[in-house]
Structure 1
């Protein structure tokens, strides 16, 4: 299992046909202290590129877009009471949703960790 990333700083961890989605450590650092997270509803269908979640920080509100299409099968309800989990553990405990992927080709245009690291380094220049 390895993480894949979008240019919008979402990450995907695929286990079988289930993708766990969150935002990268870089993204949470750019946002600053997260004060509110709105997660999607279990059972909803989502298309790649649709709004998956909303994250509000002391700096801004940002939409999180789904990097894959499928059915939302689980959401991280802990974020509603503890949104700072996104800052503290963006790559594991701060996940937003799990989606049963309906089109594995959605993953084809995502970056691996090394490519994403290079992408982020280019943003800081």
Structure 2
């Protein structure tokens, strides 16, 4: 069963560190556009497409942990070169799905790659 954790900028590092403490966990982090109140969906169309596919791909992965990290609303992300995730993790686009370990972010799928079910399945299954 996949464990889903939502973490804002302030608690992101704490949540990641908690998840990677257990060596059995396979930790993934997805950065995505925050949901808008009117639709309860991300303002980012690629994120809307990728989200259910990422969740589905992780279901068969033993000890999977998905940390969902919203980057904020469109005006907080677009063109903001000082966004904390851009600065700290060199994040350039959303959605971005990372494999995360004690060494930090590793392999990733970016934008439309995160919505390609074949790539997603291969990505989450490979060590």
TM-score, L = length of structure 1: 0.28
Which structure shows the bigger proportion of residues in strand conformation? 1
TM-score, L = length of structure 2: 0.28
Which structure shows the bigger proportion of residues in helix conformation? 2
Q: More relative contact order in 1 or in 2 (CA 8 Å, sep 6+)?
A: 2
